[in-house]
Amino acid sequence: MTGPVTVAIPVLNGERYLDEVLEAVVAQRVDRELELLVVDSGSSDRSLEIAREHGAVVHQIGGREFSHGGTRNRMMSMARGDHVAFLTQDATPSHAGWLAALLEGFEQADDVAAVFGPHDPRPDASHMIKAEMERHFASWGNGGLELDIQRLDRSPAGIAAYREFPGQLTFLSDVNCAVARWAWQQVPYREVPYAEDQLLGRELIEAGFAKVFHPRARVLHSHDYPPSRFFRRYFDEFRSLREVLGYRQAWGPLRTAADVRGLVAADRRWLSSHGVRGRAAAWPLAVSARHHSLRTAGAILGSHANRLAPALRGALSLEGRPDFNPYEVPDTLLEAGDSFHPGWQWNFVRKGYPRRPPAVDPGSARPRGPLTVAWVVPTWGVGSGGHTTIFRLVRQLEQRGHSCVIHVFDPEGTEPRPGGRLREEIREHFVDIDAPVLRGLDSFAGADVAIATEWRTAFPVRDLPGCREKIYLVQDDEPQFYATSAQSIWAEESYRMGFRCVAYTPWMADILRERWGLEARYFECGTDTNTYSYAGPQGREPGLVAVYGRAETERRAVDLALAGLTMLFERRPGLRVILFGSNFAIAAPLPARDLGVLAPSELAMLYRRASVGVVFSLTTHSLVAQEMMASGLPVVELDGANVTSALGQSGELVELADRTPEAVAAAVERVLDDPAAASEMARRARAFAEKRTWERAGDQLEEALFDFLARPRQPALNL
């Protein structure tokens, strides 16, 4: 059942219009309970009485407790509705469908955080006010006539356009708007004295949420003052804009004259469209000129109020306020913030807050058919197992008729080579792909699916525009890669972003589901059984141990393997150890040959020669182990749920060792001492690996993509 909707109105001596406003609110036709909430900050007129007459829940606060942002946060907390519509005490809903229109705005997409509507001037408003409001609200929805959903396009061109005309996206007026509770919980009003709605609008948009203009959510609202009061009001308004948003009205003799002339010309067009032309328009235009001159003067002085003496500020202010208190505004995309620290490798994390859901284009379920898939990958080194898996999956999708592109995300700037060279390297050292390789995301051109492949890539992928779905390919429990650190926190953050996940193993999928509440499917990595062809026990060199020695990857526990093998070497001096997989020379405590990074064909030869393969994984089990298994090489792995969930108990497919040097030595020795049992285990392991082909992994991934695209996203996020 739909919960209530709240209409919240802050009030102070609002007797003049309050009765009319509340009557119009109570008359609203909505399909749910309507809660009317009034917070009064010390009215001395009949406001309280009027509010109670209309059945409002009235809450009284002291005048000093009031601030536009703080009080609205308080009202959001008190309100029972999932959506809270804000009005001011002088904004009257134009018709009984006003609230329903605001609610309809939220139905346009799951990520709509706020809805606002136009203000119609009251009949007694001056022609300047009428013309200005008409012009202003015609900026949205094709001249103010249609529903208009606004989102920030985070492409470089989109950000540039946003910086040029921010108001188009950021405008929000809580004279007449509604805010979704879920969005407010993430982006509350700032506790600022003024301009709280403009700041909220900006923060919601920059957080990646949508905002909707609904032309039917109209209210009657306008102010008309004598010229001197208008001037002083504009002074106050623009001082607040400067204090809170840092706004400065540009000025200069020619520029200001041109500005005023432009505004008067706009009024002349408006008057003409309403039949006031020629001599009849002379006096109204003179009034326009006076109004806009005073308005512009108020705006210039107000937005430069920091340069004025307090006594002068007090005299110019309608509120009599002499101070100037700049507010520390949060970082914003409107500033060229990047220019301060352009090379800082964690800028992408800094921009990743506040939390927001993945930006996904709304749309119906996608039929099965060829997809466009954008993979965002971190930089790599030759021999990287994670990238081998990614590129093999890219190839698998290509072979199924999907089109792929690979974007290399390199926040550290460590990769100098152009995309063409990178593609050559992938083809030479990993797999022969068709996908073009692009550096960075500046050329991102949308895709059916964007896939993040590592925790860092999750940050930019979340905000990429023009995608129907965002997927997180999780190969490992990456927060475990780091000691307690900012990186471990940020890696965990990638699990809070609301991605749909495809995990490398059932074990990883369980972690994502159970610990992080994410929707996760899995694939099981394949093995190239042609390259890693089976060799039986004949021809293997007794006592030859092949050790995956990728010491730069700490989760491979290479030192533990070396400690165990050293212990074994002391009692079996005939043991011969070959290390491979590292780009750096390994300082081994026992005689060992270090072959470094080997090509797959060289690895296959090694696996056919050796009698034992030692490969450890403290998190997800390793592709290297599976390739050894495919080659008929008996494998020693470390015991743990990450391994047993995929490979069973010790002796079934691999020999397992507890995490001590003695246990490692004992496990290797068991394999060496009982070649018959080891060979039998290796045969079972080969049969296992034969079933885990890359074609099967490709099928599993493709099925996951189709499944996710066929079902609309659930808005609930693990935030």
Partner 1 sequence: MTEEEPTAEERAVQAEAALQAALQERNKLWAELQERHSTDQDLAFWRGRAEDIERSRWWRAGAPLRLAKRVLADPAAALSDSAGALRERRRTR
Cα distances from 562 to residues 289, 556, 586, in angstroms, run 86, 11, 10
Question: What is the footprint of partner 1 within residues 388-407 (CB under 8 A)?
Answer: 401-403, 405
CA atoms of 112 and 201, how far apart (whole Å): 12
Buried/exposed code over 97-124 (b: 16+ C-beta within 10 A; e: otherwise): bbbbbbbbbbebbbbbbbbbbbbbbbee
What's the closest the beta carbon of residue 244 comes to partner 1, in angstroms? 40
Q: Which is nearer to partner 1, 437 or 612 (CB)?
A: 437
How many residues touch partner 1 under the rule CB under 8 A: the total is: 22
Q: Can residue 567 be called a binding residue for partner 1 (CB under 8 A)?
A: no
Q: Are 120 and 179 contacting, i.e. CB atoms less than 8 angstroms apart? A: no
Neighbours of 522 (CB within 10 A): 21
Q: Which is nearer to partner 1, 471 or 646 (CB)?
A: 471
Determine the interface stretch with partner 1 among 443-451, 490-498, 534-542, 547-555 (rule: CB under 8 A). Answer: 443-451
Six-digit token string for 667:
């496990």
Q: Can residue 715 be called a binding residue for partner 1 (CB under 8 A)?
A: no
Q: Can residue 468 be called a binding residue for partner 1 (CB under 8 A)?
A: no
Six-digit token string for 304:
């430069």
Determine the interface stretch with partner 1 among 296-304, 442-450, 610-618, 635-643 (rule: CB under 8 A). Answer: 442-450
Question: What is the footprint of partner 1 within residues 329-368 (CB under 8 A)?
Answer: 367
What's the closest the beta carbon of residue 461 comes to partner 1, in angstroms? 16
What's the closest the beta carbon of residue 434 comes to partner 1, in angstroms? 8
What's the closest the beta carbon of residue 368 comes to partner 1, in angstroms? 9
Determine the interface stretch with partner 1 among 104-112, 291-299, 414-422, 559-567 (rule: CB under 8 A). Answer: 414-422
Q: Which of 420, 573, 589, 715 binds partner 1 (CB under 8 A)?
A: 420
Q: Can residue 187 be called a binding residue for partner 1 (CB under 8 A)?
A: no
Q: Which of 262, 320, 330, 370 binds partner 1 (CB under 8 A)?
A: 370
Q: Which is nearer to partner 1, 427 or 593 (CB)?
A: 427
Q: Which is nearer to partner 1, 438 or 535 (CB)?
A: 438
Neighbours of 265 (CB within 10 A): 12
H/E segment holding residue 521: strand 520-522
Angle at the Cα of 344 (from 339 to 350), degrees rounded to 5? 85
Q: Can residue 436 be called a binding residue for partner 1 (CB under 8 A)?
A: yes
Q: Is 250 exposed, middle or buried (0-12, 13-18, 19+ CB in 10 A)?
A: exposed
| End-to-end CA, the chain | 24
Q: Which is nearer to partner 1, 443 or 718 (CB)?
A: 443
Determine the interface stretch with partner 1 among 177-185, 435-443, 556-564, 694-702 (rule: CB under 8 A). Answer: 435-443
Dihedral-angle region of residue 589 (phi above 0 means left; psi in -120 to 50 means alpha; beta otherwise): alpha
Q: Which of 3, 369, 381, 715 binds partner 1 (CB under 8 A)?
A: 369
Q: Which of 139, 256, 347, 372 binds partner 1 (CB under 8 A)?
A: 372
Q: Which is nearer to partner 1, 425 or 510 (CB)?
A: 425
Q: Which amino acid is at 574?
A: G
Handedness of CA 593, 621, 583, 660 (dihedral sign): negative
Q: Which of 154, 211, 439, 555 binds partner 1 (CB under 8 A)?
A: 439
Q: Is 273 exposed, middle or buried (0-12, 13-18, 19+ CB in 10 A)?
A: exposed
What's the closest the beta carbon of residue 433 comes to partner 1, in angstroms? 12
Q: Which is nearer to partner 1, 291 or 470 (CB)?
A: 470
What's the closest the beta carbon of residue 412 comes to partner 1, in angstroms? 18
Q: Can residue 419 be called a binding residue for partner 1 (CB under 8 A)?
A: yes
**Quick one: which of 395, 405, 401 has its CA closest to 467?**
405
Q: Are 452 and 376 contacting, i.e. CB atoms less than 8 angstroms apart? A: yes
Q: Which is nearer to partner 1, 341 or 421 (CB)?
A: 421
Neighbours of 39 (CB within 10 A): 23
Determine the interface stretch with partner 1 among 139-147, 239-247, 440-448, 666-674 (rule: CB under 8 A). Answer: 440-448
What's the closest the beta carbon of residue 418 comes to partner 1, in angstroms? 4
Q: Are 212 and 141 contacting, i.e. CB atoms less than 8 angstroms apart? A: no
Six-digit token string for 518:
């994410």
Six-digit token string for 114:
């706020």
What's the closest the beta carbon of residue 442 comes to partner 1, in angstroms? 9
Q: Can residue 108 be called a binding residue for partner 1 (CB under 8 A)?
A: no
Angle at the Cα of 495 (from 520 to 105), degrees rounded to 5? 85
Q: Which of 185, 228, 443, 718 binds partner 1 (CB under 8 A)?
A: 443
CA atoms of 218 and 267, how far apart (whole Å): 22
Q: Can residue 167 be called a binding residue for partner 1 (CB under 8 A)?
A: no
DSSP for 179-202, written as a single string: EEHHHHHHSPPP--SS-HHHHHHH
- Chain residues binding partner 1 by CB under 8 A are 367, 369-372, 401-403, 405, 418-420, 423, 434-439, 443, 445, 447
